[in-house]
Amino acid sequence: MERELSLEIVRVTELAALASAPWMGRGDKHHADEAATNAMRAMLDSVSIQGTVVIGEGEMDEAPMLYIGEQVGSMQGPEVDVAVDPLEGTEIVARGLNNAMAVIAVAPRGNLLHAPDMYMEKLAVGPLLAGKLSLDDPIRTTVEKAALALNKQVSDITVMILDRDRHMTLVAELREVGVRIKFLSDGDVAGAIAPAFPEAGIDLYVGSGGAPEGVLAAAALKCLGGEIQGRLMPENEEQAQRCVEMGLTNPRKLLRMDDMIGTGDVIFAATGVTPGEFLGGVQMLPDQRAETHSIVMRAKTRTIRFIKSLHYLPNKPILGKKQ
């Protein structure tokens, strides 16, 4: 993958974010998601790749576009796997809360795990803790190891977790251990990446969220020098069967970075829709302009670019057409 691709890729998330931002707080997550998906799909056509969607909006028969298996890109350029979440945090946008982003990851063909739509147990960390923890450990051990490695008191460790009833036991354990907790309403791609940004003030990301979101976070964390470990959580026979079909004979196998995103290069881009831990949201400005805040990075070089763009909206025909 050529480095020029990074800038082409970030234009895709910028447009998806611009398209969904007008839906903030309108209580309509369906339209917010649809606007982002339409814009992302349209923009992808101009990107110089021969892409196959491996993580997308759903199976071919349930999603009209960006479905799993769909071919995207200009069909000139490298053969790649594409993982997308045009609007990671539809409910966030519908309710005007924090941490919604448009997200994409691209890797050479065959590298991205075709994560089925089910829960994944996750443990994500930034560079200082990469390689030092294990999802197999009890949470107390994990926190204690983290405190030791970071030279902090356990009471100064901050853990991020999705605010869900299913995390009640884990949260009780964390409280007993004595850490600080920051809850997320949704948007666990942003949550899992947060520990890699010192300014976010998060040491560990734990708990279960979407498996596709886990792979997207793995792509970002590889570029950032962080780490995520995951374990799929099939809840019925059908889900267990899906794991087997994607090549996991043991669906409960501990998944490491290489299992999720391979060993080669990966490009990750995200644009904030609402403000988050490390990205600003779309800001509507006077004179028909909007400002976006994006991050784009590549595993091979580990250069991290924060891109602030000022868009003149009348010159965005894709936005006009689709809304």
The residues of the shown chain that bind ligand VTB, judged by CB under 6 A, are 88-89, 162, 164, 186-189, 209-210, 213
The CA-CA-CA angle for residues 46, 40, 54, to 5°, reads 95
- In the complex, the smallest distance separating the C-beta of residue 67 from ligand VTB, rounded to whole angstroms, is 16
Of 8 and 85, nearer to Mg ion (C-beta) is 85
Question: Could you tell me where the DSSP H helices lie in the chain?
Answer: 4-20, 29-44, 90-95, 139-150, 168-177, 188-193, 211-224, 237-245, 257-261, 317-322
Tokens of 255: 């998944």
* CB of 219 vs ligand VTB, minimal distance in Å: 14
What's the gap between Cα 44 and its chain centre?
Answer: 18
Neighbouring residues of 135: CB distance < 8 A, sequence distance ≥ 6:
121, 122, 123, 229, 230, 231, 254
Exactly one of 70, 81, 85, 265 binds Mg ion (CB under 5 A); which one?
85
248: region left, alpha or beta (phi > 0 left; psi from -120 to 50 alpha): beta
Closest to 80 (Cα-Cα) out of 44, 115, 116 = 44
Please report how close the Cβ of residue 93 comes to ligand VTB at its closest, in angstroms: 10
| Position 34 contacts Mg ion (CB under 5 A) | no
| Residue whose entry in the numeric block shows the structure tokens 């299913």 | 166
By CB under 5 A, what part of segment 182-201 binds Mg ion?
Answer: none
Shortest gap between Cβ of 118 and Mg ion (angstroms)?
A: 13
Binding piece for Mg ion, criterion CB under 5 A, among 77-85, 140-148, 228-236, 240-248: 77-85
> CA–CA separation, 280 vs 274, rounded Å?
7
In the complex with Mg ion, which residue's Cβ is closer, 103 or 139?
A: 103
**What's the gap between Cα 268 and its chain centre?**
9
Sign of the four-CA dihedral 21, 33, 86, 19: negative
Min dist CB 59 to Mg ion, Å, is: 14
When the beta carbons of 47 and 123 are compared against ligand VTB, the nearer one is 123
Q: Which of 70, 88, 186, 227 binds Mg ion (CB under 5 A)?
A: 88
Q: Shortest distance, CB of residue 320 to ligand VTB, whole angstroms?
A: 28
Residue 122: name the closest of 223, 190, 176 by CA.
190
Tell me which of ligand VTB, Mg ion, none is bound by residue 70, counting a contact when its beta carbon lies within the kind-specific cut-off of 5 to 8 angstroms: none
Residue 91 C-beta: closest distance to ligand VTB, Å: 6
Question: Which DSSP helix (H) or strand (E) runs through 123?
Answer: strand 119-125
Decide whether 14 or 88 has the Cβ nearer to Mg ion.
Answer: 88
Q: Which is nearer to ligand VTB, 72 or 161 (CB)?
A: 161
Binding window for Mg ion (CB under 5 A); candidates: 58-66, 68-76, 82-90, 178-186 = 82-90
Task: Please give the helix or strand (H or E) that residue 192 lies within, else none.
Answer: helix 188-193
Pairing status of strand 50-55 against strand 79-88 = parallel
Nearer to ligand VTB (CB atom), residue 95 or residue 145: 95
From Mg ion, ligand VTB, none, which one binds at residue 14 (CB under 5 to 8 Å depending on kind)? none
Q: How far apart are CA 289 and CA 277, in angstroms?
A: 24
Report the nearest approach of ligand VTB to the CB of residue 265 (Å): 25
* Interaction site with Mg ion (CB under 5 A): 85, 88
